[in-house]
Amino acid sequence: MTEQERMREVLERLRQAYPTARIRLRFSSPFELLIATILSAQCTDERVNQVTEQLFRKYRTPEDYLRVPIEELERDIYPTGYYKAKARAIRGCCQALLERFGGEVPQTLEELVSLPGVGRKTANVVLGEFFTPQGIVVDTHVARIVNRLGFVQTSNRERIEQRLMELVPREQWVSFTHLMIAHGRAVCHARKPKCARCVLADLCPSRTV
């Protein structure tokens, strides 16, 4: 079995195991998803959703985030953690959107990562959900699982992403991440993976059973 064939088998099994796997953040526009993803750093999606339920009613445009004192924005996003850094990133991002993109979220990876507070992961999330996927989101679950499966032997996120782009069919780039995250949350935990109930156990060189 080639690596591409093994990846296809992995994807098929995960699709059957997690048929409803999807992004957990709540949003109604590319701009809201951009803000929610910035807030999700070092924070659970559930906590972000609790915060954005009120946040997105109060702040609807990039201008809204720039009108209030930064201390007010910090209070509004405080529960997500690292609120001072996130408030600066959000305001910097909104300023750049207004100055360089007419207040609209750009649709290329190069333009998105030029925004303050936006890295490849955030950019790929937005592109995958609303525009044309130009890469694969590599979060902690994805990095951990593909290393355990032996598809890569590195912790470097960009190198992991480049390898996955070679192995995963382009039309499955977005669903791949959702499936990996679902599997990481349910079975392939960081400390004690539940290998005995893993649908990928026979394909995994790291299994403990």
* Residue 139 known to be catalytic: yes
Q: 27-63 burial, b for 16+ CB within 10 Å, e for fewer?
A: beebbbbbbbbbbbbebebeebbebbeebbeebeebe
Q: 128-145 burial, b for 16+ CB within 10 Å, e for fewer?
A: bbeeebbbbbbbebbbbb
Q: In the numeric block, which tokens belong to residue 130?
A: 């609303």
Q: Nearest 5°: CA angle at 161, between 156 and 166?
A: 130
What's the Cα-to-Cα distance from 37 to each of 48, 60, 167, 192, rounded to whole Å? 9, 16, 26, 27
Residue tagged active-site, from 64, 84, 86, 139: 139
Residue tagged active-site, from 64, 121, 194, 202: 121
Expressed in angstroms, the distance from the first to the final Cα of the chain is 21
By the 8 A CB rule, do 180 and 145 touch?
A: yes
By the 8 A CB rule, do 146 and 152 touch?
A: yes
By the 8 A CB rule, do 190 and 144 touch?
A: yes
Residues in the chain: 209
Residues designated catalytic: 121, 139
